[in-house]
Structure 1
Amino acid sequence: MTSGAGSPGPPGRPTAEQIDRLLVGAPARHTREQVAAEAGVPRELAERIWRALGFASLAEDAVAFSDADVAALQRVGKILDGGLLDEQTVIRLARALGQTTARLAQWQAEIIIGAMLPPDREASDAELAHVLDTAQQLLPDFEHMLVHVWRAQLAAAGTRLLTMADEELVPTRVFTAVGFADLVSFTRRARELDEQELAALVEGFEARASDVVAAHGARLVKTLGDEVLFTAPTAAQAAAIALDLVETGELRIGMAYGPVLPMLGDVFGTTVNLAARLTAIARPGTVVVDSAFAGELDGNLAAELHKIRRRPARGLGVVQPYVLRRPSS
């Protein structure tokens, strides 16, 4: 970047146009009507896809779409024309893509900016320009890594579904172990910490949970600030995860085994609700499981189960919980 026609001056503050040009590439050339016409896709469908991807509706005369947008819509048109997917499925896939990549992009941007800009003062124009220059250098590697990891995760997801589905390719219900890990006294600790300390606490918790869950071949479904939800194909895997996580004494964990409904990347059903209720029963530094989970673990030498008194679980009646521990030997 230069200032004036003479010798290069100090870098200026990056503009929205510069960021867009770096990350998107192709310049905007089309309006809403033009991009649909160029792609040969009905305008209503194009707008539904755009909204599903998470982008705002624009004015009729706003020139905001590039040739890359035209090419993307053309690909969607070919999928529909070829009968590979129906319109409803395309919209659902677009919504999944939009929500996931929006969170990914926000998260990555926060990490890069947090690492490169001073936390205690306003960043200078030169420092902001340096972030943009660094992003330009990292972009090809990030893009390659994104596609590679997505393919690997897609393969892992397909394998999990096939394993759980038995003879059904797309199950409506699958049996799995569900666990909630909850940070103890999070509300009190949040009041005592400043913003950076609180962010470090939450990120450290999520990072450890993610690492432990992945190491045991299970799946971190979502994070909820002071809580994470994970699933595992077997109770034995879930037990190993919980016992590794709870060692710090800062967590309490509830787990249940039974049918769940996988939908929108999440899991739903009574088993999920029961795991949440058991988390509320658990004392700090302990793991509590339901009777079905205990039955699945029967005979497993890697864990011990201790029956405790029956408890009412809100909305689920009276349940028989067990405390899960490592073998005393």
Structure 2
Amino acid sequence: MDAPEARGRPTAEEIDRLLLGMPARYTRGEVAAAAGVPAELSERIWRALGFASLADDAVVFSDGDVAALRRVRTMLDSGLLDERTVIRMSRALGRTTARLAQWQAEIMIGAMLPPDEEPSDEDLTRVLDTAGRLLPDFERVLVHVWRAQLAAAGTRLLTVAESHSEPLPTRVSLAVGFADLVSFTRRASELAERELAELVEGFEARAADAVAAHGARLVKTLGDEVLFTAPTPAQAAAIAVDLMESDELRIGLAYGPVLPILGDVFGTTVNLAARLTSIARPGTIIVDSGMAEDLGDRPEFEVRRIRRRPARGLGVVQPHVLRRSPH
């Protein structure tokens, strides 16, 4: 019996066929016409999703793209969304899913390919085949988790709205925290690439777990630093003391008005938390006066005032050291 014919290295066309499920049939003008969407709006949506501009005669769009654009047209025709909102939603979707897809691909490749040698064509084919088998389950889990996260976001916004006169205030009072890996640049130069990746992933995983456990939100990660927000000073303080297991971290916390936009947060309170982080010594948590006042009567925390310090762009600030109470 003849051995099965070996497959060569997977091609871009094979990857598209497996993951998209439909062949490319349309140019950018044809996909817009088939969906009944103006070509200019279709191009704006495509760019907002994070994809490169294409030549007029490039055949890269499928029936799935037509169906998606038709859904957009239905939402516009119903008056539920205007064009500006569609573009903003497309940008949010594109940025989030691009990072998610890249992250998941890296995890799969790291788990399935040999770590210190060039992968063979058979190795790459095995990864592609595994992705194809897992794709339906991944897709269903993704939709479920997205709905759950949307519900959690709605609950957070409802909580904020109950304490303000407007349903979605432009500025809200939140506790903001920065957690920073100490001497990251030096450690990065001393560690092998795999060790550095494990350090960063372990740090981000611990931070994400602590933030989620206390009902807060991990806003973003910056490799050696994470930014999180919490509805109350007590929640932010609990996250900080849970994270502070060794001298490898320093944390700054501040409470006050912030401007939430594009999934991020901005404002003086955010800047103050960042400045307090830079003031903190390794293994310490520094909080501003507002946080200290709120936490002073809580038996689970210990707050101690230290000398005033200059904070770049904010003048002189009064920091306090936060610790878990020994009692």
User: What secondary structure sits across from 1:30 in the alignment?
Assistant: coil
Match for residue 197 of structure 2? 199
Provide the identity percentage.
Answer: 76
Give a deviation string over 1:96-139, Cα, whole Å, max 9, x none. 00000000000000000011001211111111111011101110
Stretches of structure 1 lacking an aligned partner (at least 5 in a row): 1-5
Stretches of structure 2 lacking an aligned partner (at least 5 in a row): none
Runs (4+) off by over 4 Å: none
| Contact 2:252/2:285 (8 A) holds in 1 | yes
State which drifts further: 267-276 or 239-248. Answer: 239-248
| Contact 2:174/2:255 (8 A) holds in 1 | yes
Give a deviation string over 1:36-89, Cα, whole Å, max 9, x none. 000000000000000000001110011110010001000001111111011111
Match for residue 215 of structure 1? 213
User: What secondary structure sits across from 1:249 in the alignment?
Assistant: coil
User: What secondary structure sits across from 2:25 in the alignment?
Assistant: strand
Report how many residues are paired. 324
Once the two structures are TM-superposed, the CA of residue 194 in structure 1 deviates from its matched residue by 1.1
- The normalised TM-score by structure 2 is 0.97
> Is 1:76 aligned with 2:85?
no
Once the two structures are TM-superposed, the CA of residue 300 in structure 1 deviates from its matched residue by 1.2
Q: What CA distance in whole angstroms lies between the structure 2 residues aligned with 1:284 and 1:244?
A: 15
| One-letter amino acid of the counterpart of residue 15, structure 1 | T
- 1:71-110 map, 5 Å: 71-110=67-106
Q: What CA distance in whole angstroms lies between the structure 1 residues aligned with 2:316 and 2:87?
A: 42
User: What secondary structure sits across from 1:64 in the alignment?
Assistant: coil
| Contact 2:178/2:251 (8 A) holds in 1 | yes
Q: What CA distance in whole angstroms lies between the structure 2 residues aligned with 1:140 and 1:248?
A: 42
Of 3, 6, 14, 1:10 maps to 6
Q: What CA distance in whole angstroms lies between the structure 2 residues aligned with 1:168 and 1:134?
A: 49
Q: CA RMSD in A?
A: 1.0
Q: What CA distance in whole angstroms lies between the structure 2 residues aligned with 1:151 and 1:163?
A: 18
Match for residue 287 of structure 1? 285
> Is 1:149 aligned with 2:145?
yes
> Is 1:325 aligned with 2:316?
no
> Is 1:164 aligned with 2:160?
yes
Give a deviation string over 1:241-294, Cα, whole Å, max 9, x none. 000101222100000000001100000000000000000011110100000111
Give a deviation string over 1:179-227, Cα, whole Å, max 9, x none. 0000011111011001111111101100110111111111100000100
- The normalised TM-score by structure 1 is 0.97
| Contact 2:296/2:302 (8 A) holds in 1 | no
